[in-house]
Structure 1
Amino acid sequence: MVLITAVREYINRMLQDISGMKVLVLDPSTVSAVSVVYSQSDLLKKEVFLVELVDSISMSKKSMSHLKAVYFLRPTSENIQHLKRQLASPRFGEYHVFFSNILNDTQIHILADSDEHEAVQQVQEFYADFVAVDPCHFSLNISSNHLYMLPVAMDPSKLQQYCDRIVDGISAVFLALKRRPIIRYQRASDIAKRIAQDTANLMYQQESGLFDFRRSETLLLVLDRRDDAVTPLLNQWTYQAMVHELIGIQDNKVDLRTLAKVPKDQQEVVLSSEQDSFFKANMYENFGDIGMNIKQMVDEFQQIAKSNQSIQTIEDMAKFVDNYPEYRKMHGNVSKHVTLVTEMSKIVEERKLMLVSQTEQELACNGGQGAAFEAVTNLLNNESVSDIDRLRLVMLYALRYEKESPVQLMQLFNKLASKSAKYKPGLVQFLLKQAGVDKRTGDLYGNRDLMNIALNMARGLKGIENVYTQHQPLLFQTMENISKGRLRDIDYPYVGNHFQPGRPQDVVIFIVGGTTYEESRAVALYNSTNSGIRFILGGTTLLNSKRFLKDLEEAQRMLRSSSTLV
């Protein structure tokens, strides 16, 4: 169950059986799906000399009959119309059309009627309607991600489109993996229930023939992001998650153009476990170890270069790379990581994140309301702490102590409003309405059941290896419960009459509202324990705290505007 391999095989099959020079025509969704698993050099090896977007092809009149066109598109009505117009006046010698999901009969008839010049050589469905971020982690890159927080009655058509896109993405994953799952969902979430039921309807009724795979012990569990709003609010200190939190990763690419003194060849860098051995070895390591591992590689080259330059700090490493252009040529990969670590170190220092993060972790992992209130108050008063960090601290405190200290919570609201000019009134209260204790299913803080209290005490006695990475997402506990057969039917019911007789072998956990790299790391580490179950994680988008807060603000804004119209 390796997603990257599945998508690569689809693209290989598209390109290798068509000989000669080719143009690859994509849409914005398939650009993402292809780019995370296939490099430019991979495409060149398959004789792809041009990559175009389907809407730009429509605007061009230039004939290229010497090229064979390979189209890889989502089967949307918009893309079908683009194809219809382009087939009316063909620019390429041949057309090979592949769709990333299931075509309906109407779409097939439209294409057949449009191909008057008989330019289309084949039409196939290759199920890669998702972005395979890592081998066991996928995203649907849905832009309107805030819709899961809105009531159904507010905009039924938009919510239907949102749900349809999710069902399409989930179904493509299972078609790519050749599995038909038993489906469960989080009972407390209306959106999780709706998506689980719609997915079951597609797999077991509408397209039952397509999903007629040999029976396997496979589970799909649909969850709601609001059951764990803590994880996307926390600062991160492991490499991949930290890069996304502080700089941002989009389709495995990091945009560094806004940073000062970044060499031209590093203004956009790729962070892929498939293409970068150093990143693969270090993506889940903590920040301190990353610095040491990069320094070791720099030291090795320094020995080769017979340089006596002293390297003691991250800044020294960056200067060394600048002074030795041959180093960048030979070890461009390492210089990329030096650039990233250098930039993140600056951000950590500017925002006093080591100070902030220690309190965040205490809020997420440990009790002690009085000490927490004092720590958060002190940080709100600290002029070096940024507005976004103040907001996250108050949110984390509110999620933890909303029932225990309403008076002190109101004091923090008032202080936040007075200290942060960008503070959006009522955003913390809106978060509590969306993801407060009354809305949650899971045991978010591990303190409502005796087994978890015992585990937490044992953990405390052994000591925490790293205070900045002690938090475990709720997802880890969910995986444990699945592995040990403890996932309660009353909280996570089955769809229909399809029950899991025993322990599943393969589990896809889909989080409506988005996943985080911290959760992706938890899945990868859990899979490495050889528990006998393989987990895959998927979500509507990839979150960092900035994106999560943006979704929260957008949902709040839409609800306010709708209430003023009533």
Structure 2
Amino acid sequence: MSMEGTGATTLKGRQCAALRQMLGFNQPGVLGLNGPGASGAHSATPTSAPAWKLLLFDRVGQDILAPVMNVKQLREEGVTLHLNIHSDRDPVPDVPAIYFCQATDENLRRIGEDLRLQLYGSYYFNFISPISRQKLEDLAQAALQTQAVTQIQKVYDQYVNFISMESEMFCLRHQSSSALSYHALNKGSMVDGLFAVCVTLGTIPIIRCPKGNAAEAVATRLDKKLRENLRDARNSLFVSDGIQAGQYSFYRPLLVILDRQFDLATPLHHTWTYQALAHDVLNYSLNRVQITESTPSPMGGARSKSKTRSCDLDSKDAFWVKHKGSPFPLVAEKIQEELEDYRSKEEDIKLMKSEMALLEKKRLIDMHTSIATAILEQIKLRKLDVFFELEEKILSRQVTDKSLKDIFEDTEAGTPEDKLRIFLIYYLCAQQVNDQEIRELEDILEANGCDMAGVKYLQRWKSVTRMSQQTASASDYSGGGTKTVSMFSKLMTQGSSFVMEGVKNLVVKKHNLPVTKIVEELMEVRPGQHQDDFRYFDPKILRPTDNIPRAKNPFQEAIVFMVGGGNYIEYQNLMDYTQQAKSGVNLSSVGQQSMSSHGKRIIYGCSTLVNAKQMMQQLAELGHEMT
């Protein structure tokens, strides 16, 4: 496994290569994709395959494809039409159809109906996760009954049951799915998804996890699944000479599986970076953000029309790649600089007749201006800079200049949800909590219309976890904090696209979150609480014992998986850690530079990607179930 770059060596690149080979009818060498990253079986020899085809997918397949391939890329692969498998479809005879879906009873019934109606000339079935023997026999029976056996060309297990959001980030289900949420954990589906990640990367990791929670259950099942596949040498998916083979010759990655309950404060935290803010305050999912823009009435009236605009944010956008993890005021300044640079070069570009380059640059500037403006409106409307600054002080145990009571009684500061979020962070992370103070704050929140069911759940949860000591302590959040500096001069001029008046330019002190601190300790193989307490699995040892030999050298690559929901805050913090490691800077609590951390690479994964609002809804559901 090599996670460097953005090509086929990254997780996203390898999954994309596997999907492109699927669209090439799974032929080795078709589209030049018989290299790393493809999956499934192979034909013995390449055959002449028709260039044009239809693509049919279910909801899960659509979510997997959306961040990896757009319509233009599908066209380049010969896909003339792509439809949901359950939509009403007309027959297209003599045209091959590629199915990309889960092997559910509902999907198989629809496939049987398509065969009966003879909708297409030939069929290529690609199941996202392996189809069971019984369901494969049912599919064969349906083909016999409809006399469509000769039309079914191939049936494949693809092992791509995960969504690649970024080159270094994946989730197992789209955020609208509740099956893998913190509220409802489906451990079997998580194991299948993590197994697919290992297959796509072509590597067997060392697995570490805490004891006594959902993470341990997932790790135990994954270890068993990997070991069983390795034991079956003839059918093993981890071969040394096939396209499944990873890039490892000497190193194996570390897979750290963690439970969301270890740190419930971070996903509730108001944030200050571009991508995390977009996920928190805008409709941002599957690398696409939707914003509502107002346009003046054409008749000059007081009313303005509003329209929803979709913006794709991906690796092709250089500005997004460079600044998605930057503090918001810095992003606003850089957008202003880009706009000024565009204006200064506009005439030169026109003279060179690079009209397409000019239009694309202007489109990206306008898009980021619209997104940043929508975020800025929410910051000013809800005073999010005030909430972020106060939460940072609570987490880093600094003296706050405002009490929570003052914030809660300020009708212009935030929504009831914002106030409930900061209260939960205070309740979870404060070293000493006064019961009377908590009751007073609860009364104020309840009077503001807050749903207090989540608070009741956390009170029960905190009393239980206090005994097990399996949660982040107040010291795990230390090292953070903010300082306020003067706003960038470019944003204070009349020509600025952003009215930043009243917004603080907060500079955040670089520090590692609890998850990053655990990962750093385990990757460095440094003596510590987590090194001693976490379980250790090595699937390559086919007969495991309690005292299996452990790796002694630091790990250069890791996969971090969060059971119960992840977020962009943790993802960005881990990416910052890898960048600091490359530069030789180490932010560990030990305070020492680590030479072995040079060149570390980390993939962050989670069962679902949730923002604070969704996390609070899940906590509230758990609280309501207690009553």
- Structure 2 residue 452 is the aligned partner of structure 1 residue 425: yes
Equivalent of residue 161 in structure 2, options 108, 114, 129: 129
- Structure 2 residue 607 is the aligned partner of structure 1 residue 526: no
Deviations 1:459-497 (A, max 9, x none): 889999944565642111112112221363543112453
**Sequence identity of aligned pairs in percent?**
22
Aligned length: 515
Q: How does 1:449-460 map to 2 (within 5 A)?
A: 456=479
- Structure 2 residue 313 is the aligned partner of structure 1 residue 288: no
Deviations 1:280-309 (A, max 9, x none): 111111111111111111112222457xxx
How far did 1:28 drift? 0.7
Distance 1:183 1:88 in 2: 46
- Structure 2 residue 551 is the aligned partner of structure 1 residue 501: yes
Distance 1:559 1:90 in 2: 52
How far did 1:167 drift? 1.0
Equivalent of residue 104 in structure 1, options 109, 116, 132: 132
Q: How does 1:142-291 map to 2 (within 5 A)?
A: 143=176, 145=178, 162-189=186-213, 191-205=214-228, 208-209=231-232, 210-213=236-239, 217-256=252-291, 258-261=292-295, 267-272=309-314, 274-291=315-332
Instruction: Decide whether the 8 Å contact of 1:394 with 1:428 is kept in 2.
Output: no
Distance change in 2, residues 1:177/1:146 (3 Å): closer
Deviations 1:258-278 (A, max 9, x none): 443499997111111x22121
Distance change in 2, residues 1:461/1:226 (3 Å): closer
Distance 1:516 1:435 in 2: 22
Q: Match of 2:41?
A: none
Q: Match of 2:502?
A: none
How far did 1:328 drift? 6.3
- Could you tell me which amino acid in structure 2 is paired with residue 230 of structure 1? A
How far did 1:241 drift? 0.8
Return 136-145 or 337-346, whichever deviates more: 136-145
Deviations 1:537-559 (A, max 9, x none): 11111121111101111222233
Distance change in 2, residues 1:76/1:559 (3 Å): farther
Equivalent of residue 333 in structure 1, options 354, 364, 376: 364
Instruction: Decide whether the 8 Å contact of 1:68 with 1:95 is kept in 2.
Output: yes
Judging by fraction of residues, say which structure has more helix.
1
Deviations 1:487-517 (A, max 9, x none): 6354311245355323334322211111111
Q: Match of 1:27?
A: 58
Q: Match of 1:298?
A: 339
How far did 1:354 drift? 1.4
Deviations 1:383-437 (A, max 9, x none): 112101110111111012264422222221122222x12x113422322433576
Q: Match of 1:140?
A: 172
Distance 1:271 1:208 in 2: 42
- Could you tell me which amino acid in structure 2 is paired with residue 38 of structure 1? M
**RMSD of the TM alignment (CA)?**
3.1
- Structure 2 residue 525 is the aligned partner of structure 1 residue 485: yes
- Could you tell me which amino acid in structure 2 is paired with residue 504 of structure 1? F
Distance 2:68 2:481 in 1: 41
Q: How does 1:44-123 map to 2 (within 5 A)?
A: 44-56=75-87, 59-60=88-89, 62-115=90-143, 116-117=147-148, 118-123=150-155
Return 77-86 or 406-415, whichever deviates more: 77-86
Deviations 1:21-60 (A, max 9, x none): 211111111111111011111111112111111122xx43
SS in 1 for 2:254: strand
Distance 2:370 2:607 in 1: 30
SS in 1 for 2:285: coil
SS in 2 for 1:140: strand
Distance 2:283 2:445 in 1: 26
Distance change in 2, residues 1:461/1:252 (3 Å): closer
Q: Match of 2:378?
A: 347
Distance 2:313 2:483 in 1: 35
Instruction: Decide whether the 8 Å contact of 1:184 with 1:222 is kept in 2.
Output: yes
Instruction: Decide whether the 8 Å contact of 2:253 with 2:556 is kept in 1.
Output: yes
Distance 1:10 1:518 in 2: 29
Instruction: Decide whether the 8 Å contact of 2:482 with 2:508 is kept in 1.
Output: no
- Could you tell me which amino acid in structure 2 is paired with residue 104 of structure 1? S
Instruction: Decide whether the 8 Å contact of 1:188 with 1:440 is kept in 2.
Output: no
Instruction: Decide whether the 8 Å contact of 1:202 with 1:208 is kept in 2.
Output: no
Instruction: Decide whether the 8 Å contact of 1:183 with 1:221 is kept in 2.
Output: yes
Distance change in 2, residues 1:265/1:430 (3 Å): closer
Distance 2:374 2:201 in 1: 39
- Structure 2 residue 72 is the aligned partner of structure 1 residue 37: no
- Could you tell me which amino acid in structure 2 is paired with residue 121 of structure 1? Q
Distance 1:330 1:467 in 2: 29
Q: Match of 1:3?
A: 11
Instruction: Decide whether the 8 Å contact of 2:427 with 2:433 is kept in 1.
Output: no
Instruction: Decide whether the 8 Å contact of 2:229 with 2:237 is kept in 1.
Output: no
Instruction: Decide whether the 8 Å contact of 1:145 with 1:513 is kept in 2.
Output: no
Distance 2:462 2:273 in 1: 26
Distance 1:168 1:180 in 2: 14
Distance 1:361 1:170 in 2: 33
Where does the alignment leave 5 or more consecutive residues of structure 2 unmatched? 4-9, 25-29, 31-48, 241-248, 297-304, 348-356, 486-504, 538-543, 583-596
Distance 1:197 1:88 in 2: 43
How far did 1:111 drift? 2.4
Equivalent of residue 442 in structure 2, options 409, 413, 417: 413
Distance 2:564 2:64 in 1: 19
Q: Match of 1:399?
A: 428
Instruction: Decide whether the 8 Å contact of 2:263 with 2:472 is kept in 1.
Output: no
Distance change in 2, residues 1:506/1:85 (3 Å): farther
Distance change in 2, residues 1:477/1:176 (3 Å): same
Distance 1:107 1:301 in 2: 58
- Could you tell me which amino acid in structure 2 is paired with residue 178 of structure 1? G
How far did 1:147 drift? 6.9
SS in 1 for 2:16: helix
Distance change in 2, residues 1:260/1:165 (3 Å): farther
Distance 1:68 1:432 in 2: 57
Q: Match of 1:390?
A: 419
Return 335-344 or 551-560, whichever deviates more: 551-560
- Could you tell me which amino acid in structure 1 is paired with residue 155 of structure 2? V
Deviations 1:129-183 (A, max 9, x none): 1110011110112656487666xxxxxxx75xx1111111111100101112232
Q: How does 1:524-563 map to 2 (within 5 A)?
A: 524-528=575-579, 529-530=581-582, 531=597, 532-560=599-627
Return 119-128 or 207-216, whichever deviates more: 207-216
Q: Tell me the TM-score normalized by structure 2.
A: 0.75
Q: Tell me the TM-score normalized by structure 1.
A: 0.83
